[in-house]
């Protein structure tokens, strides 16, 4: 029973870190990345599909994303979807591929992006702590039922704290890497 509670907490904490990784990968840093555009919803023959399911996305240069649709008829829909997205970028269409040139962000914009990344990291830390709290509450309920010894409960609480500390360290490492990437010119 103790192992199951800890496994559930570990899974929830891991999901919070994975969500953070996906979130910060989408934040524009001035460097091109397929993660910036791959999840943009494109209306394709009446169905909303992610961009990576209707085209090939490549990054041939550090500041250029090239999108090659599998169906040339989808180019206008892809352009509309990119323009509607929150990225604030304008695609260039040559009839066969769409090119997105990413401009160099200003110093002010870099600071805003760094602040956004810090905010997302704090949200992940809160989610991790909430998972720890849920595990500790489950352990307390188990202790009240007196089906498990007090020493086992304390050991499990210590393990939950170690899990929390490890996942928060992962969040801090992701935050430091992304901040460095954003603030580097």
Q: Which domains does the chain have, with CATH numbers?
A: 2-25+106-183 (1.10.132.20), 34-101 (3.30.1360.40)
Q: How far apart are CA 14 and CA 9, in angstroms?
A: 8
Is the pLDDT at 25 greater than 90? The verdict is: no
**21-35, 117-131, 137-151: least confidently modelled range:** 21-35
Is the pLDDT at 10 greater than 90? The verdict is: yes
Angle, alpha carbons 24-25-30 (nearest 5°): 100
Query: To the nearest whole percent, how much of the chain has pLDDT over 70?
Result: 98
**Nearest one of 126, 158, 148, 141 to 12, comparing CA atoms:** 126
What is the band of 37 on the pLDDT scale with cuts at 50, 70, 90?
A: confident
């Amino acid at each position: 029973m103790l192992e199951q509670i800890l496994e559930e907490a570990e899974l929830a904490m891991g999901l919070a870190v994975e969500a953070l990784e996906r979130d910060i990968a989408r934040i524009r840093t001035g460097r091109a990345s397929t993660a910036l555009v791959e999840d943009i919803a494109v209306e394709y023959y009446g169905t909303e599909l992610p961009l990576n399911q209707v085209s090939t996305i490549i990054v041939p240069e550090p500041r250029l994303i090239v999108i090659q649709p599998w169906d040339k008829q989808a180019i206008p829909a892809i352009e509309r979807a990119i323009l509607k997205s929150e990225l604030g970028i304008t695609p260039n269409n040559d009839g066969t591929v769409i090119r997105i040139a990413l401009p160099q962000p200003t110093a002010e914009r870099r600071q805003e992006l760094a602040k956004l990344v810090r905010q997302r990291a704090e949200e992940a830390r809160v989610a991790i702590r909430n998972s720890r709290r849920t595990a500790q509450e489950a352990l307390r309920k188990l202790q009240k039922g007196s089906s498990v010894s007090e020493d086992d409960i304390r050991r499990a609480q210590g393990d939950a704290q170690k899990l929390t500390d490890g996942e928060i360290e992962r969040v801090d490492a992701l935050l430091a890497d992304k901040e460095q990437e954003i603030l580097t010119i």
